[in-house]
Structure 1
């Protein structure tokens, strides 16, 4: 491998990594702003789901997201897929339930949805980047 090719692949790796870090930090910033703007910290419950979403990948998928798109698997892989889906749905359901109970404002709920959308895009971009052989 030539020196210029190696430098180009490293710079693209760092660019992808920096982009993913920016997306994740902007999602967390929106999460905090949804709480701080309206003076209510109940929306932070959905931040708990942000912690729970990658756990099945870490425990049952070996740290890889490739098991989520495969058709094969067993009991543990199916359980991991179920837990990933349940925690992703919980990230959407918690702000809706809190809004329905009049515990948060509509604006906070919409900011939470935007934060989840950015977080989901970050996870999908990470999955796409991890499929490449350069990682």
Structure 2
């Protein structure tokens, strides 16, 4: 999050902060599929595969948004919506945040974890 805020604040442009929406949405499909899938169907089932597919779409969108914002020109000028430095800060922040989310699921991904406490 620090890299994201630095990328936004140093350039006085808060458009890259919309990536936070993807940070909030990324773990939701997997949490829902683990909550409602039956454990008797084996390590993989259609519900889990769909949740992983949706999650990967969200993650790719989070990496794509700053690139698209950097490549998109401001209307009437040749200036980009966000500068190159902001794009790199946001991409670095994405790596850190999504690595943390993966670490959460590896740590709490066992069969004995009860999600009803959340």
> Considering the TM-score relative to the shorter chain, is it more than 0.5?
yes
Q: Per-residue displacement from partner, 1:13-67 (whole Å, max 9, x unpaired)? A: xxxxxxxxxxxxxxx122122111100010012111101101102222229xxxx
Q: Is the 8 A contact 2:30 2:48 kept in 1?
A: no
Q: What are the equivalent positions in structure 2 for 1:69-84 lying under 5 Å apart?
A: 70=43, 72-74=44-46, 76-84=47-55
Greater CA drift, 119-128 or 84-93: 119-128
Secondary structure of 1:104's match? coil
Q: TM-score, normalised by structure 1?
A: 0.65
Q: Segments of 4+ in structure 1 off by > 3 A?
A: 131-135
Aligned equivalent of 1:107? 85
In structure 2, do the counterparts of structure 1 residues 33 and 93 end up closer, same or farther at CA, with 3 Å as the change threshold? Answer: same
The CA distance in 2 between the partners of 1:77 and 1:124, in whole Å, is 15
Which ranges in structure 1 are unaligned for 5 or more consecutive residues?
A: 1-27, 64-69
Q: Is the 8 A contact 2:27 2:101 kept in 1?
A: no
* CA-based RMSD: 2.1
Aligned equivalent of 1:40? 13
Q: TM-score, normalised by structure 2?
A: 0.74
The CA distance in 1 between the partners of 2:53 and 2:86, in whole Å, is 28
Aligned equivalent of 2:116? none
